[in-house]
Amino acid sequence: MSPLSCQHIMTMDDLMPEDITTILDTAESFKEVNERRIKKLPTLRGRTIINLFLEPSTRTRMSFEIAAKRLSADGVNMTASASATVKGESLRDTAKTLSAMACDLVVVRHKYAGAPQVLAECMDAHVINGGDGMNQHPTQALLDLFTMRQHAGRLEGLTVGIVGDICHSRVAGSLVPALNKMGARPIIIAPPTLLPARPDVLGAEVATSLDAVLPELDIVYMLRIQMERAAGMPFPSLREYARFYGMNEARLAAANPGMLVMHPGPMNRGVEVSSAVADSPRAIVLDQVNAGVAVRMAVMYLLLGGESGGAVA
């Protein structure tokens, strides 16, 4: 029996709750490896992992890269500027080319939703979605679940407020279904202009006032305001956004005393999170980054490993 019920991790829909639990449990063991002096395992020796990042990314790409290296896989990076896509090669042809090089796994980041599915159709390798447009970013959701479970000891029954640009966020796109699958209670919190036209299809409760729901939250998850798009942002000013939807010391004091603050990074200090909150022990942003490597090692191991069997070696 294969340890996961899927061949690829493209959206959270690919994963059953049992798969998520398997990934998080396996990641616990990889977390221990990442605390060792020698952070290297021979597990995926001789396997080739291609990081196909056709949209700018540093932290996600580095996290996947480190994960591949710690498992002894051969990792190759391909970025938009260095790839044939600038010469006009289609994604299908890129996929077939990579397939012809006999790679075992491709991590893809692309500006268009659905790019991972196109790749998976054209090649034999496993595909992990490293973020596709405004659609999904499943490994981010998995590392977030890992961090929540690490701190809260459980996922079931946790109330998680997700605050920010819900409409354009692939992080929210994966996190909401991930929380629902694990029995947690997601609440999306944003000004109406940053909510999708039909927020009900996301499957989360909706609030437009952060202060109104704050006392109910076990965790508040602050999405990044994309400053590069700030000029076109549908709110009057960053300052006004920070005032109504930013996590600051006053709000932290008004929240339930154990409430934790999460953020997918990179943070805009003073916008969605104040500096004091970002540096407080209640912010577990660096634990999320730390979990990222372990969780990505776990999905690589589980996708590239063989059948799960109990027989003695």
Partner 1 sequence: MDYRTKAVVMDAEAVDRALTRIAHEILEANKGCSEVALVGILTRGAELADRLAERIERIEGVRVPVGKVDISFYRDDVATRLSPEVHRTDIPFDVEGRHIVLADDVLYTGRTIRAAMDAIMDYGRPHSIQLAVLVDRGHRELPIRADFVGKNVPTSRRERVKARFAGVDGADSVEILEEAGAR
Q: Among 43, 57, 77, 99, which residue sits at the site for partner 1 (rule: CB under 8 A)? A: 43
| CA pair distance 237, 219, nearest whole angstrom | 26
| CA pair distance 139, 131, nearest whole angstrom | 9
Q: Among 37, 58, 197, 200, which residue sits at the site for partner 1 (rule: CB under 8 A)? A: 37
| Active-site annotation holder among 31, 47, 109, 224 | 109
CA dihedral 33, 39, 42, 47 (to 10 degrees): 100
97 flagged as catalytic? no
CB 245 within 8 A of CB 164: yes
Establish if 146 lies at the interface with partner 1 (CB under 8 A). no
Q: Which residue has the tokens 């998680």?
A: 160
Q: Among 14, 21, 33, 99, which residue sits at the site for partner 1 (rule: CB under 8 A)? A: 33
Q: Which residues, numbered 288-307, are part of the site for partner 1 (CB under 8 A)?
A: 301-302, 304-307
CB of 309 to partner 1, least distance (A): 5
Total residues at interface with partner 1 (CB under 8 A): 30
Q: In the structure encoding, which two tokens stand for residue 2, read together?
A: 């294969």
Q: Which residues, numbered 60-99, are part of the site for partner 1 (CB under 8 A)?
A: 71
Q: Among 16, 36, 124, 249, which residue sits at the site for partner 1 (rule: CB under 8 A)? A: 36
CB 217 within 8 A of CB 259: yes
109 flagged as catalytic? yes
Buried b / exposed e over 205-241, threshold 16 CB at 10 Å, is: bbbbebeebbeebbbbbbbbbeeeeeeebebeebeeb
168 flagged as catalytic? no
**Residue ranges that bind partner 1, judged by CB under 8 A:** 3, 25-26, 28-30, 32-33, 36-38, 40-44, 47, 71, 301-302, 304-313
